[in-house]
Amino acid sequence: MTVQSISQEYFPNEPKEPVVKSTTQTKSKEGIEQLEKSFDARSAYFIADYAKSIGNYIADVDGNLLLDVYAQIASIPLGYNNPALIETAKSDKMIRAIVDRPALGNFPGEDLDDICKEILKVAPKHQDKLWSGLSGADANELAFKATFFWYQAKKRGYKSQFSPEEIETVMHNQAPGSPELAILSFERAFHGRLFASGSTTCSKPIHKLDLPAFKWPKAEFPSYKYPLEENEEANRKEDERCLKIVEDLFKSWSVPIAGVLVEPIQSEGGDNHASAEFFQGLRDITLKHGALLIMDEVQTGVGATGVMWAHERFNLQPPPDLVTFSKKFQSAGYFFHDPEIVPNFAYRQFCTWCGDPARMILAGSIGAEIVKHNLVERASEVGDYLFSKLEKLQTKYPKYLGDLRGKNRATFIAWSLENGEARNKFLNDMKSVGVNIGGCAEDSVRLRPTLVFEEKHADVLVDAIEKVLSSY
């Protein structure tokens, strides 16, 4: 089997092009209306038929088969109904994990060590430990807990007991038992919709309106000019400007900043990129001020940008302290390497399930398939092919392909339209020609296909884009 044929090998019956039978999607609309009686379906695009979805194509109940370059919001790694993952799902190990779902903290199964080792085979460089969670937002919140525990343990003495005052005041949500500490994040960032993760999210108001928030600082993330090669000096100064803001916040914020949380590429907030120099600057600042660096790789991880973990391109010295994951890994949690990030006493980082071994088993299988078929390298090759075609389209339709970004980042590609109304019309029109595609920020389009998206799929996508744009 050649690497180039893996999509055909997995999915011999995958269609060569989309099938559009109904642009009105009547059955989907009826299904959403019925679903509304028991479930909030207002955000639903359409009702999918997952039994008929295959490879890079998602089916709906109206008989449409759409090329899917959104892939469940960047969370399908190896295509729909992947046979290798189906075999994993049928395994005895998986059946036990599902039917007898263990409380991993108290009653780990005899196979848990092997499950963890499979995941760690594809962990970020230098990260040899993990803690499991339930979702991307949960992974980030668990990382916050680990950061705060570490910060206070360092101040107190790692193995020191809690003082009577700490034990008493924590029961009233007061200091010193409940200390005033902060996580620094960035404007336009997205880290989840739970309470603490919501406090670090800053992409759209709708994500966090009406939620009480921690009063935590927000720095500015670089806003680059494109194309990058023509704006090196301006973008270097932008890095310096933003790093100074981070440094100033550490010096001036009203409470200690225990950690910095950042995405290697801001995804939901608009596919905003930053340089290796910027990220090394962040690393240096955290070291200087005794804080941890948390890399949120929920959307960028697992090969999506042409390396297994996007931050590895930056070659940070020393490496990040924690790396959170979810989405394409079908599991969630964080990686780390410093033993002192393990809370100093048991039952601190704990819940009934401590993650989900069924999803962890699947993550291990996903990692094995990616390595077996060199899918990270293939994603990079396909991304270069696709980006070059989009650059050519950009010269024809600059109004609709502005700030094309993601060069040399595999298929992690985005561009901007003139406004949100134009972007939303484009997304809808793409469905009419058989492509399911997503947006980010207010006016951007983002591509998030699977790791088995190949040149033939890129050709279908580009043809569809040109068909839509030529009608404007």
Rounded average pLDDT over 71-88? 98
Confidence of residue 44 (pLDDT cuts 50, 70, 90): very high
Query: Where do the structural domains in the chain lie, given as residue ranges?
Result: 3-82+376-469, 102-355
Report d(CA 391, CA 145) in Å as an integer.
43
Strand partners, 68: 436
The count of C-alpha atoms lying within 13 angstroms of the C-alpha of 237, restricted to the half-sphere facing its C-beta, is 4
Return the closest-CA partner of residue 7 out of 433, 413, 379, 434: 379
158 pLDDT higher than 90 = no
Rounded average pLDDT over 36-56? 97
Query: What is the CATH topology of the domain spanning 3-82+376-469?
Result: Aspartate Aminotransferase, domain 1 (3.90.1150)
Report d(CA 204, CA 181) in Å as an integer.
24
* The pLDDT of residue 4: 56
**pLDDT tens, residue by residue, 170-201:** 999 999 999 999 999 999 999 999 999 999 99
**pLDDT tens, residue by residue, 276-308:** 999 999 999 999 999 999 999 999 999 999 999
Beta-sheet strand order (sheet of 435-436): 57-59, 65-68, 435-436
109 pLDDT higher than 50 = yes
- Cis ω before 176 (30° cut-off from 0): yes
Report d(CA 444, CA 451) in Å as an integer.
22
**pLDDT tens, residue by residue, 306-325:** 999 999 999 999 999 999 99
234 pLDDT higher than 60 = yes
pTM, two decimals, is: 0.97
| Average of per-residue pLDDT values in the chain | 97
274 pLDDT higher than 60 = yes
CATH architecture of 102-355: 3-Layer(aba) Sandwich (3.40)
Q: What is the 3-state secondary structure (H, E, C) of the chain?
A: CCHHHHHHHHCCCCCCCCECCCCCCHHHHHHHHHHCCCCCCCCCCCCECCCCCEECEEEECCCCEEEECCHHHHCCCCCECCHHHHHHHCCHHHHHHHHCCCCCCCCCCCCHHHHHHHHHCCCCCCCCEEEEECCHHHHHHHHHHHHHHHHHHHHHCCCCCCCHHHHHHHCCCCCCCCCCCEEEEECCCCCCCCHHHHHHCCCCHHHCCCCCCCCCCEECCCCCCCCHHHCHHHHHHHHHHHHHHHHHHHHHCCCCEEEEEECCCECCCCCECCCHHHHHHHHHHHHHHCCEEEEECCCCCCCCCCCCCHHHHHCCCCCCCEEEECHHHCCEEEEECCHHHCCCCCCCCCCCCCCCHHHHHHHHHHHHHHHHCCHHHHHHHHHHHHHHHHHHHHHHCCCCCEEEECCCECECCEEECCCHHHHHHHHHHHHHCCEECEEECCCEEECCCCCCCCHHHHHHHHHHHHHHHCCC
* The pLDDT of residue 298: 98
Report d(CA 73, CA 193) in Å as an integer.
15
Token look-up 């950042």 returns: 262
2 pLDDT higher than 50 = no
Return the closest-CA partner of residue 369 out of 379, 382, 384, 381: 379
* The pLDDT of residue 5: 78
159 pLDDT higher than 90 = no
Rounded average pLDDT over 366-387? 98
**pLDDT tens, residue by residue, 243-257:** 999 999 999 999 999
* The pLDDT of residue 3: 44
Provide the percentage of residues in the chain whose pLDDT is more than 90. Answer: 98
221 pLDDT higher than 80 = yes
Provide the annotated active-site residues. Answer: 190, 296, 327, 352
- Number of neighbouring beta carbons within 10 Å of residue 164: 8
